[in-house]
A = this chain, B = another copy of it.
Amino acid sequence: MRIGVLGTGTVGQAIGSRLVELGHEVRMGSRQAGNEKAVAWVSGAGERGSEGDFSDAAAYGELLFNCTAGEHSLEALDAAGAQNLAGKTLIDVSNALDFSDGPPPAVGISNKDSVGASIQRRFGDARVVKALNTVNADVMVDPAKVPGDHVLPICGDEQAKPGVVELLGEFGWPAERVIDLGDISRACGMEMYVTLWLGFMNSLGTAEFNIALAR
């Protein structure tokens, strides 16, 4: 599949590299074509990797990942262009970490709203699914890094979800460990969880962990 990965940070690079490894063709998008990190990524990614601006990467992808910082995702997607998102599955991996008051960060959009929901509101023709933002980048693309039956909550567009679950399966997430929380309004809880995630990380001394559900 041709996939557009918007964002050149740790998350975009981890997801882009894993997708290429799985045989997909990936275009990494950033504010301007020729972005230093994107070019470096392409040189390591081999012939299935390419880069361009947000609009170019979004037009290229049959499916898109939003790996931009949540505080700036709407801007980035405006630059990508609504017409390049329409009808496509957009997997939103972002967290809106607000460091304006120093660490630890606040959650920039919270309580009844979320980055995921605000993207779906602004781009009504995109099929937004929130996923993967509850784990570290390494764990996102290789869940076996953490032992046990830990889980991945997702939420969002009903028609897009089966394809997302399949792609998560390629990453290594068994379908029974993907917990469907419902529509995109549930992204709120998935994004607010980052504050507890930071607490666990601080206490455990590692980012390579995840939650399991006992019931």
Listed in ascending order, the chain A residues whose CB lies under 8 Å from chain B are: 98, 101, 104, 106-107, 110-112, 146-150, 153, 155, 179-182, 185-186, 188-190, 192-193, 195-200, 202-204, 206, 208-215
A152 to chain B, nearest CB (A): 12
- Beyond A193-B193, A193-B196, list 16 extra A-B contacts (CB 8 Å): A106-B112, A107-B110, A110-B110, A110-B192, A147-B214, A149-B214, A150-B214, A153-B196, A153-B199, A179-B203, A181-B200, A186-B202, A189-B196, A192-B192, A209-B215, A211-B211
- Residues in B whose Cβ lies below 8 Å from that of A213: 200, 204, 209-212
Q: How distant is the Cα of A101 from the Cα of B112 in the complex, in angstroms? A: 9
Q: Could you list 14 examples of A-B contacts with CB < 8 Å?
A: A110-B192, A148-B214, A153-B199, A181-B199, A182-B203, A186-B199, A189-B199, A193-B193, A200-B213, A204-B213, A210-B215, A211-B211, A211-B213, A212-B212
- Residues in B whose Cβ lies below 8 Å from that of A206: 215
A2 to chain B, nearest CB (A): 32
Q: How distant is the Cα of A204 from the Cα of B151 in the complex, in angstroms? A: 13
Cβ contact within 8 Å between B211 and A182: no
Cβ contact within 8 Å between B193 and A181: no
A183 to chain B, nearest CB (A): 11
Cβ contact within 8 Å between B195 and A192: yes
Cβ contact within 8 Å between B203 and A181: yes
Cβ contact within 8 Å between A200 and B110: no
Cβ contact within 8 Å between A214 and B210: yes
**Given A203-B181, A211-B214, CB of A106 within 8 Å of CB of B111:** yes
A12 to chain B, nearest CB (A): 24
- Residues in B whose Cβ lies below 8 Å from that of A204: 213, 215
Cβ contact within 8 Å between B210 and A182: no
- Residues in B whose Cβ lies below 8 Å from that of A180: 203
A181 to chain B, nearest CB (A): 4
